[in-house]
């Protein structure tokens, strides 16, 4: 059986790419920030997606895999470039702009593409092209990113993904692979990961730097999601939003405010590019 790639209108406008060999598919809404809304692996839907909220364009999305660029988190005081101050909203603008979409040449996935606009240059004064290739493999979603700086100045940025994984009960999960310490992003203080894990069902937002992959175990569904890092996209954020039964397991390149602090800030020289990648693996136990 061959892969399929087609545009659909129900239950919302999207493109669907499926690979029957792996009993897997993804659905993407390119006009809504290149959002991957659904990912099924071996017939199991793994992403949390609030369809009602998605259909209300006045509200921010809750679900799928939002794309964070050119910052992750907020940038509370703005940043300076070329002697001018610029301000970006939470997680940047990529998740709010329309992307183009097409089938990869090898037909093993899809390519999303975003370019700067006159409006985006008013708060991020750079010319750029961003490609994101999403490949469906057996039990995995492989994501490769290429960012090309087409400006005459070096372009600072952060990049991240904000995937929402559905769980049956946030009190019946386990997360392995995190270090002992983390940064509580609600107050930016260093704290114990174990203390944060105990209150997942109350709501958490913390950032850590794991040395290896991170695994999310759902004891009720028996699903395991493994985030396999690739440097420099190896910062991990865990976020929960009760009463939603989901856990965000987010790969970022840099913490919030990195354009100001310089902490893990990335820069691309004029007319050069950078490659990033990350993988989500699905298994059962």
Q: Edge to edge, what strands does the sheet with 100-103 contain?
A: 100-103, 109-115, 128-137, 140-149, 273-284, 223-228, 214-218, 173-176
pLDDT, residue 29, reads 98
**Mean pLDDT (whole number) for 239-264:** 96
| CB neighbour burial string for 95-132, b if at least 16 within 10 angstroms, e if fewer | bebebebeeeeeebbbbbbbebeeebeeebebbbebbb
Beta bridge pairs of residue 40: 25, 45
pTM above threshold 0.85: yes
Query: pLDDT band at 278, cuts 50/70/90?
Result: very high
**Mean pLDDT (whole number) for 3-17:** 96
**Mean pLDDT (whole number) for 57-73:** 94
Q: Provide the sign of the torsion angle of the four alpha carbons 179, 180, 183, 186, taken in this order.
A: positive
Task: Tell me what the pLDDT averaged over the chain comes to.
Answer: 96
Q: Which of 184 and 58 is assigned the larger pLDDT?
A: 184
Pairing status of strand 160-161 against strand 205-208: unpaired
Q: Is the pLDDT of residue 20 over 70?
A: yes
What percent of the chain has a predicted confidence (pLDDT) above 90?
Answer: 93
Instruction: Spell out where 20-97 has E strands.
Output: 24-29, 35-41, 44-45, 67-68, 79-81, 84-86
E strand or H helix at 54, and its extent?
helix 51-55
Query: pLDDT band at 236, cuts 50/70/90?
Result: very high
pLDDT, residue 1, reads 60
Q: Is the pLDDT of residue 101 over 80?
A: yes
Taking only the tens place, the pLDDT of each residue in 120-144 is: 999 999 999 999 999 999 999 999 9
Q: Is the pLDDT of residue 197 over 80?
A: yes
Q: Report which of 221, 238, 222, 218 is spatially closest to residue 170, judged by C-alpha positions.
A: 218
Q: Is the pLDDT of residue 280 over 90?
A: yes
Q: Is the pLDDT of residue 235 over 70?
A: yes
How remote is the C-alpha of 196 from its chain's centroid? 21
How far is it, in rounded angstroms, from Cα 227 to Cα 215?
A: 6
How remote is the C-alpha of 180 from its chain's centroid? 24
Taking only the tens place, the pLDDT of each residue in 203-217 is: 999 999 999 999 999
E strand or H helix at 55, and its extent?
helix 51-55
């Amino acid at each position: 059986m061959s892969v399929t790639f087609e545009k659909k209108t129900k239950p919302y406008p999207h493109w669907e790419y499926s690979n029957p060999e792996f009993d897997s598919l993804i659905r993407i809404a390119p006009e809504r920030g290149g959002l991957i809304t659904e990912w099924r692996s071996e017939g199991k839907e793994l992403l949390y997606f609030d369809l009602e909220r998605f259909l209300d364009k006045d509200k921010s999305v809750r679900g799928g895999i939002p794309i964070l660029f050119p910052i992750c988190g907020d940038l509370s005081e703005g940043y300076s470039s070329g002697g001018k101050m610029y301000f970006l909203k939470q997680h940047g603008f990529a998740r709010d702009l329309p992307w183009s979409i097409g089938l990869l040449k090898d037909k093993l996935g899809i390519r999303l593409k975003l370019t700067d606009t006159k409006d985006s240059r008013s708060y991020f004064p750079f010319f750029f092209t961003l490609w994101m290739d999403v490949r469906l493999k057996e039990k995995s979603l492989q994501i490769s990113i290429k960012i090309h700086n087409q400006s005459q100045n070096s372009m600072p940025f952060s990049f991240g993904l904000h995937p929402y994984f559905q769980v049956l009960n946030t009190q019946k999960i386990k997360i392995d692979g995190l270090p002992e310490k983390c940064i509580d992003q609600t107050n930016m203080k260093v704290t114990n990961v174990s203390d944060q894990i105990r209150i997942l069902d109350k709501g958490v937002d913390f950032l850590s730097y794991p040395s290896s992959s991170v695994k999310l175990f759902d004891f009720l569904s028996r699903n395991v999601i493994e985030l396999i890092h690739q440097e420099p996209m190896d910062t991990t954020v865990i976020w929960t939003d009760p009463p939603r039964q989901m856990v965000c397991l987010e790969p970022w390149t840099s913490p919030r405010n990195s354009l100001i602090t310089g902490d893990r800030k990335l820069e691309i020289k004029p007319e050069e590019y950078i490659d990033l990648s990350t993988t989500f693996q699905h298994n059962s136990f």
